[in-house]
Amino acid sequence: MRSENESSGQKTRSFIEEARRSQIVASTVEVLAEAGFAQASLARIAKHAGVSKGVISYHFAGKDELMEEVVERTYAAVVKHVLARMEGVESATELLRTHVLAAAEHMRDHPAQLKALGEILVNLRTADGGLRYGVRTNEEVYRALESIYRLGQETGEFRTFDTRVMAVTHSAAVDDMFAYWTAHPGHDLDAHARELAGILERACAR
């Protein structure tokens, strides 16, 4: 009964099934953002979504798959937004600034998603006890950032430095900018992002 499409690892899902999955993912994001990972039981998520607990088990192989779906969807949304903003920008300096500002932009508009993402990245573990995500998962981000830094070094905009260290620093600074904003809602996120872009530019400048 499997369709050919499944060969790519994606199951074919009916419209209604897709809607349910989205609804449950949205509920999960909200519960994670409000109450944190430890309090995000399936019972609580189901209650928040207004469905029975069983429906989650029906649509997801287990809690882990649900959490992974949250990560994938949330992560994809950030990447999509940032890449769209970076489209057409050519100088490394501008790409750097655009990356920071675009990320902040998206954070500002989707705080719950990013709080939820943070909860999962820090807490979700595999059966063997190790973190399911973790710094290793940032590899993709590091590579993308490194390509910007290397571009700048090649064009002569940037001095010579260790691009991996700079990428880790950049990524950390953006993540914590958001965490700080979450903890201090009155904080001016956009101003922080502009200031941070300036810091990174100076750190890279010849």
Partner DNA sequence: AATGAATGAGCATTCATTCAT
Partner DNA sequence: AATGAATGAATGCTCATTCAT
- Name the residues that contact DNA, by CB under 7 A: 14, 16-17, 20, 39-44, 51-59, 62-64
Q: How far apart are CA 152 and CA 140, in angstroms?
A: 19
Residue 144 interacting with a second copy (CB under 8 A) = no
Contact string (CB under 8 A) for a second copy, positions 123-142, x = contact: x-x---x-x--xxx------
The nearest distance, CB 121 to DNA, in angstroms, is 17
Which of a second copy, DNA, none does 53 bind, CB closer than 5 to 8 A by kind?
DNA
Stretch touching a second copy by CB under 8 A, among 8-16, 55-63, 88-96, 189-197: 189-197
The answer to whether the CB of 23 falls within 8 A of the CB of 45 is no
Q: How far apart are CA 163 and CA 105, in angstroms?
A: 25
CA geometry: angle at 77 spanning 163 and 191, to 5°?
Answer: 65
Encoded tokens for 106: 């998206």
CA dihedral 17, 67, 193, 166 (to 10 degrees): -130
Residue 182 interacting with a second copy (CB under 8 A) = yes
Among residues 32 and 204, whose Cβ is nearest to DNA?
A: 32
Residue 171 interacting with a second copy (CB under 8 A) = yes
Stretch touching a second copy by CB under 8 A, among 45-53, 80-88, 149-157, 177-185: 177-185
Query: Long-range CB contacts (< 8 A, 24+ apart) of 29-35?
Result: 29/70, 29/74, 29/112, 29/113, 29/116, 30/112, 30/116, 32/70, 32/112, 32/115, 32/116, 32/119, 32/120, 33/111, 33/112, 33/113, 33/115, 33/116, 33/119, 34/112
Q: How far apart are CA 179 and CA 171, in angstroms?
A: 12
**One of 21, 37, 79, 151 touching a second copy (CB under 8 A):** 37
Which of a second copy, DNA, none does 17 bind, CB closer than 5 to 8 A by kind?
DNA
Among residues 37 and 75, whose Cβ is nearest to a second copy?
A: 37
Contact residues toward a second copy (CB under 8 A) are 34-39, 122-123, 125, 129, 131, 134-136, 161-162, 165-166, 168-169, 171-173, 175-177, 179-180, 182-184, 191-192, 195-196, 198-200, 202-203, 205
